[in-house]
Amino acid sequence: MSDVKEITPINLMLFGIIGGLVGIYLSPYFPTAGALGAICAVIWSAEAVRRVAKYGLGTGVPSIGQIAMGMGIIAAMFGLAMVKSMPLAGPILALITASIIGFIIGWFAQHVIKMKIPVMIRCMTEIAAAGALIIIGFSASVAGNYDFVGSLIPKVFDNGVILAVFWVGAVAMLHPFNACLGPDEKQKRLLYLAGSTGAITMALMGIAAVMTLGASGSITLLLGIVLWLIFYKKFWDEVYNDAAAVVGTGLIPKTEA
Amino acid sequence: MVFLDPTTIIDILLIGLSGTLICLAVHFIPVGGAPAAMAQATGIGTGTVELAAGSGLVGLITSSYMYAYEPSASVALVMAAGAMGSAIMLASTMLAGGFIYAYGVAVPFASAQVKKDPITGERQDIYVSKGTQGQGIPTICFVSGVVGAALGGAGGGLIYFVLMGYYSPLITTHAAAVAGVFTMGVFYVNSVIPSYGVGGTIEGVHDPKFKRVVPKDVFTSAVVSMLCGIVAILIAGGMTA
């Protein structure tokens, strides 16, 4: 369609998985890293939502963000809770579980409900996996690490921050395509918007982190606001670039007699 | 393994059943989507997921309240509390929506899917405006919606009850939050699956689409929810110190 070179899905997937996992594994030493990792996963998931929602789901783009978070939260809880003896395996187990749940739901959507979307299974797997990383990443930035029973339950579940992680994370994932969809939708613009929704989620998690972790949470808050301004400015510039290409058709020529 | 224990298997089946109830509930609710928001289709003017989840989460709140303040509450009581909460939530949504359709948009309530309302027996087709799929929320849709919301709330209450039985001996005071969040996850999965099945809009139990899509959606939901049930019970295994 367009001659603009797009980033391939596989590269974004690697970016999301590696960035997300590195951020989560660094979160016990530097909680803000969890949120940065989650932003990588948000950018990946926005691309996956873009690919599947392009076909028209019939129910609106928000539904796919919500199912992603529903699958992600189940898998995240499972992955983190199951590995008591070796906690390092938790996030990876969550990622694998989410992929399996996503694959099964995608398979059913494609072959039982018969949605006839060729990329359904692959994208469902990807958004479920990304959903799990988003939830673990943002939760870890609030709790200070990703230990389920010791930290996440008292610091994220009990005080209800998990609801904010769930909802704001879902919006961060679904909003970019929901806002950009249409004939002139471009990947670059969408990814910048995904970065900005991820960053504003990070800023909100920073507010929660100030409550749970004290002063070190303010780094998450301030960095989130700075990243949001940067990404939003980039998105703004892209909108202006693309808008000129659409609107600049010139005046309607006068008919000559 | 713990899986071979009959109570565990029954609990997994119960979680599967509750997911199926939520899935079934979505088909009863008159979801109009964007066309209904412009009064060009019968039903409530928002998406399946929003309606099912909105009413279902209220049901979750009422059932958890029942569980928290009546320690000896039976499963039937918790489910009934959830059903009441959801049904009241959806009925008030439809009532408020109905006022807006009647006095704000000024459309007669009519269903395009049936010739006569199965409950009141009123003719529908002569009131459907040309080029639309019906307008507003007729009696059959309202009743179907209330029944659907009650099913969804009962399903949410059932998952919560089963999970609390597993989690509260292990993590005592934290169990409500974990069980609630897990229930919410199962709720979203089970409200989106049928919304893909119905393709965005459905009028309720009288819609011809209902018979066509219910079997495959229910089958999908049952399998997926049982998977969630297995995961939920394995999580409990990971909580033991």
Q: Looking up tokens 């409900």, which residue turns up?
A: A113
User: pLDDT band at B103, cuts 50/70/90?
Assistant: very high
Cβ(A42)–Cβ(A194) under 8 Å?
Answer: yes
User: Does the beta carbon of B10 lie under 8 angstroms from any beta carbon of chain A?
Assistant: no
Beta bridge partners of B184: none
Type of residue at A152: L
- Write the pLDDT tens digit of every residue in A109-147: 888 888 788 888 999 999 999 999 999 999 999 988 888
Per-residue pLDDT, A1: 45
Arithmetic mean of pLDDT, B205-209: 84
Type of residue at A18: I
A251 falls within a domain: no
Q: Are the Cβ atoms of A109 and B234 closer than 8 angstroms?
A: no
Domain ranges for chain B, please list them: 21-234
User: Does the beta carbon of B76 lie under 8 angstroms from any beta carbon of chain A?
Assistant: no
A253 falls within a domain: no
Arithmetic mean of pLDDT, A88-113: 90
Domain count, chain A: 1
A252 falls within a domain: no
Helix A161-180 with A120-143: angle, nearest 10 deg: 140
Collect all residues with Cβ–Cβ distance below 8 Å to B80 and sequence separation of at least 6. Answer: B154, B157
Collect all residues with Cβ–Cβ distance below 8 Å to A133 and sequence separation of at least 6. Answer: A16, A17, A20, A21, A24, A37, A38, A41, A72, A91, A94, A95
For residue B213, which residues of chain A lie inside 8 Å, CB to CB?
A: 113
Residue A174, sorted as left (phi over 0), alpha (psi -120 to 50) or beta, turns out to be alpha
Q: Are the Cβ atoms of A70 and B231 closer than 8 angstroms?
A: no
In this predicted model, which residue has the larger pLDDT, B174 or A22?
A22
- Write the pLDDT tens digit of every residue in A38-55: 999 999 999 999 888 888
A96 falls within a domain: yes
ipTM for the predicted complex comes to 0.86
Arithmetic mean of pLDDT, B174-200: 86
Minimal CA separation from A44 to chain B, in Å:
21
For residue B218, which residues of chain A lie inside 8 Å, CB to CB?
A: none
Arithmetic mean of pLDDT, B128-139: 86
Mean pLDDT check: name the lowest of A158-167, B14-23, B64-73, B211-220.
B64-73
Mean pLDDT check: name the lowest of A125-129, A151-155, B81-85.
A151-155
Which positions 47-66 of A are in contact with B (Cβ < 8 Å)? 57-60, 62-64, 66
Which positions 161-190 of A are in contact with B (Cβ < 8 Å)? 162-163, 166
Give the mean pLDDT of chain A: 87
A214 falls within a domain: yes
**Domain membership of residue A139 as a residue range:** 9-242
Q: Say what percent of chain A tops pLDDT 70.
A: 95
pLDDT above 70: residue B1: no
Per-residue pLDDT, B3: 57
Arithmetic mean of pLDDT, B170-188: 86
Q: Say what percent of chain A tops pLDDT 90.
A: 43
pLDDT above 90: residue A231: yes
